[in-house]
Amino acid sequence: MFTFSNVQYKDILKIEKLTFQDKQIICLFGESGSGKSTLLKMLNGMLTQDSGKIFYKERLIDDYDPVELRKKVVMLGQDPVMFQGTVRENLLFGLKFTGKSEADDSKLKELLKDLRLEKNLEDDADQLSGGEKQRVAFGRVLLMEAAEVYLLDEPTSALDEETETKVMSVFTQHIKREGKSAIFVTHSKEVAEKYADQIIYMNEVLANEEISE
């Protein structure tokens, strides 16, 4: 799916070879400052390497149109952006971005229930708490049927343990059911071991050990 070859970014990352397999849930695990978020942002062109090559499906990432790439490789950050408007409008934003038909209210309400978010679709998104915004953002990306890969940077940092378990379970079940891929960053080894098919340890990446399984 993704392949890194002799990639360097400032003094943060230096990767001789790294491969991410398709249709897997992969966790990037390591200490703060180990380059996890930097690596994640390079996968959809938010950051560009100083040298080396990054391929997505055997095509250089640099050759993709950035907008088209980000429709397929979707990023969910730790502090998700909320657009002005209602919870409904924020949930539907991803569908509009990818040019897909809007989901009806019954589907949106079921999604909020699955994510344990007891809010009305008409509620103002700006008034949500940090954890509520994270769950709306989860719902938004889950609705994006055009997405092939989900990139998640500490996606449950504002959630309590019980809610985190529920949200991650809903998300990973969706990924496996739809035959898609996810790469996520976490500081929690428990979360990594529970939900990832593969854990990539950043200390091994930076030590230039070949990781391709």
pLDDT of amino acid 81: 87
pLDDT tens by residue, 50-91 = 999 999 999 999 999 999 999 899 999 888 889 999 999 999
3-state secondary structure of 53: strand
Say if residues 13 and 23 touch (Cβ distance below 8 Å). Answer: no
Radius of gyration for the chain, computed over Cα atoms and rounded to the nearest angstrom = 17
Instruction: Report which secondary-structure segment, H or E, holds 204.
Output: helix 202-206
Calpha distance 74→150 (Å, rounded): 5
Strands 2-9 and 51-56: antiparallel
> Tens digit of pLDDT for each residue in 89-117?
999 998 988 888 889 999 999 999 999 99
Report CA 193 to chain centroid distance, whole Å.
Answer: 17
**What is the enclosing helix (H) or strand (E) of 7?**
strand 2-9
| CA 46/CA 40 separation, integer angstroms | 9
pTM attached to this predicted model: 0.91
pLDDT of residue 213: 44
Residue with tokens 């229930």: 113
Q: Quick one: fold of 2-206? A: Rossmann fold (3.40.50)
- Determine the distance from the C-alpha atom of residue 56 to the mean position of all C-alpha atoms in its chain, rounded to a whole number: 16
